[in-house]
Amino acid sequence: MNTQNKKNKTNEVIRIQNLLVLVFLISSSYLYSQSSPKHSIENTDSNKPNILFILADDVGQEVLSCYGGESYDTPHIDELARTGMKFQHTYSMPTCVPSRLTIMTGKYPTRFGNIVWGEFPKSEEKNTFSNLMQANGYATGIAGKWQLTLLKDDPQHPARLGFQHSEVFGWHEGPRYYQPMIYRNGQVRTDTKLHYGPDLYTRSVIEFMDENRNKPFIAYYSMALCHEVTDDLETPVPQSPFGRYDSYAEMVAEMDRAVGRLVAALNALELREETLIIFVADNGTPQNLIVRAEGKKLIKEPIFSMQNGQKIPGGKANLTDGGTRVPMIANWPGTIKEGQVVDDLIDFTDFLPTFLDLAEAPESINKDIDGLSFSDLLVGKGRSKRTWTYAEESVLPKPGGTEPSGENSGLKYVRNADWKLYNDGRLYDMKNDRFEKAPILEENDTAISGKIRKELVLMFKNNFNVDVH
């Protein structure tokens, strides 16, 4: 199929999705309005954008076609990049929970001491971006993955952290894909057995946006895709109709389809120009994936993806680019100019202050956070103020399971766009050594690397204090 025919086919698919989503919205809005809590928030300031924050799970840059990926088709995400702003230097933590903790609080995990998987610091519950946005007039909703506590022990945790509506799967309690176990506002749903989880999570986000279309909202779609199935239950979770679990390629296709449904929904609701979409991933692509169950034994296969002619292994759980340099796209018609590719540094502490700046509530940003707002970059009034980013290895104990495994080495890094320094003294020229094959030790410094080392060492000495950005 030639390029023009592929483009025509993609456009036709998008038109059909727009029509289907419009029919869905009309048919479902009454049911949802009867079953969901009412909010008294009114949109009194048309300058405050809605925010659709999409956090994909386990997706490195090499996965997306718009980043040079060659193994998977991602037309809807590519379209967001083509008509918006693509970020080259966005950095996460290397695994799921630390990234989510950082997003919610605007602080690095190291600030909280020995946090185990499934715990959230009590001192930060009132300071989450969701509680702060709610306090400043936004309706708040989340769907998909929570992973900040075991919901069977604390089913109201999402509400306490500021989400007025939540529809999230039971992490390490049940399935997330086929026959999913889903908590809706703290109650386990009983009608999910015949459904595919990501379809329900996407529908929940669409219904939330529909219900709150006349007021400012922030919809946090914390995707299940493209993470593997839950691995620590007594009996393996249900497989697909093909008698196996979805392949990574199949999950990438479902992820992209969900993004297309959400964009189509915003178009149908006539909210597209009033809504900022941010698409980002929580960490890199997994190194391997559970592909099937043989009795109680789970079988894994390694993941490799092609990017710009190179075979790239999954890098999740590593502090390499494969684990922490993630794709990020911002799209806001009429505000963000099309076709931008930016080299500004962004890390996950930056979302909280950016959201509050866009909500015209900078006074709500606590002074002790690590994040720096990049709202000026989004609206074309400036650049990101960040000059370095930070990440840490996060191999921590959790209740049960096999992820993560091993012991925490205490490894950390600070870096700018071109240079990266680990706390064990290894310095890398990332522009010329993407895969970190040639560490530069202090005794081998050149004039240039020595200067860079001194600048980055200062970040470690100052305990990553935001004042020295």
pLDDT digits (tens, 9 = 90+) for 184-203: 999 999 999 999 999 999 99
Would the pLDDT of 428 be above 80? yes
Average pLDDT over residues 341-345: 98
For residue 389, the tally of other CB atoms under 10 A from its CB is 26
Helix (H, G, I), strand (E, B) or coil at 307: strand
Q: How sure is the predictor about 460, in pLDDT bands with cuts at 50, 70 and 90?
A: very high
Average pLDDT over residues 172-191: 97
Whether the predicted pLDDT of 417 surpasses 50: yes
Q: Are 181 and 173 in contact (CB under 8 A)?
A: yes
For the cut 90, the answer to whether the pLDDT of residue 423 exceeds it is yes
| pLDDT recorded at residue 177 | 98
Adjacent-strand bridge partners of 52: 219, 277
- Please give the Cα distance from 286 to 279 (Å, whole number): 19
Tell me which H or E stretch contains 330. Answer: strand 325-331
Spatial contact of 305 and 63, defined as CB atoms under 8 Å apart: yes
pLDDT digits (tens, 9 = 90+) for 435-457: 999 999 999 999 999 999 999 99
Q: What is the pLDDT of residue 373?
A: 98
Q: What pLDDT, on the 0 to 100 scale, is given for residue 404?
A: 53
Amino acid found at 72 = Y
Cα separation of 229 and 281, whole Å? 18
- Compare 40 and 452 and report the one with higher pLDDT: 452
One-letter amino acid identity for 80? L
Whether the Cβ atoms of residue 17 and residue 264 lie closer than 8 Å to each other: yes
**Per-residue pLDDT at 405:** 52
Distance of CA 121 to the CA centre of its chain: 20
Helix (H, G, I), strand (E, B) or coil at 150: coil
Judge contact between 116 and 97, C-beta under 8 A.
Answer: no
Question: How open is the CA angle 39-44-49, to the nearest 5 degrees?
Answer: 85
What is the per-residue pLDDT across 101-111, written as a single tens digit (0 to 9) for each? 999 999 999 99
- Is 57 within 8 Å of 227 (Cβ atoms)? yes
pLDDT band per the 50, 70, 90 thresholds, residue 469: very low
What backbone phi and psi angles, to 5 degrees, belong to 212? -110, 25
State residue 165's pLDDT score.
98
Amino acid at 84: G
Question: Taking the mean position of all CA atoms in its chain, how far away is CA 340?
Answer: 21
Asked, as a colleague might, if the bond just before 66 is cis with ω within 30 of 0, I would say no
Q: Are strands 139-144 and 412-415 parallel, antiparallel or unpaired?
A: unpaired
Tokens of residue 410, six digits: 């205490």
d(CA 82, CA 184): 35
Where would I find the beta strands (DSSP E) of 33-73?
50-56
Average pLDDT, integer, range 239-261: 97
Distances from the Cα of 224 to the Cαs of 154, 162, 335, in angstroms?
20, 20, 30
Q: pLDDT confidence of 33, banded at 50, 70, 90?
A: very low
Mean pLDDT on 15-21: 49
When pLDDT is cut at 50, 70 and 90, the band that residue 171 belongs to is: confident
What digits encode the pLDDT tens for the residues 44-79?
456 899 999 999 999 999 999 999 999 999 999 999
- Report the range of poorest mean pLDDT among 120-124, 191-195, 376-380, 404-408: 404-408
Least confident of 26-35, 144-153, 329-338, 425-434: 26-35
Q: Please give the CATH topology (third level) of the domain spanning 17-28+47-405.
A: Alkaline Phosphatase, subunit A (3.40.720)
Mean pLDDT, residues 314-329 = 97
Task: Among 13-27, 252-266, 403-417, name the most confident range.
Answer: 252-266
276 and 49 in contact (C-beta within 8 Å)? yes
Domain locations in the chain as residue ranges:
17-28+47-405, 419-468
- The DSSP symbol for 75 reads H
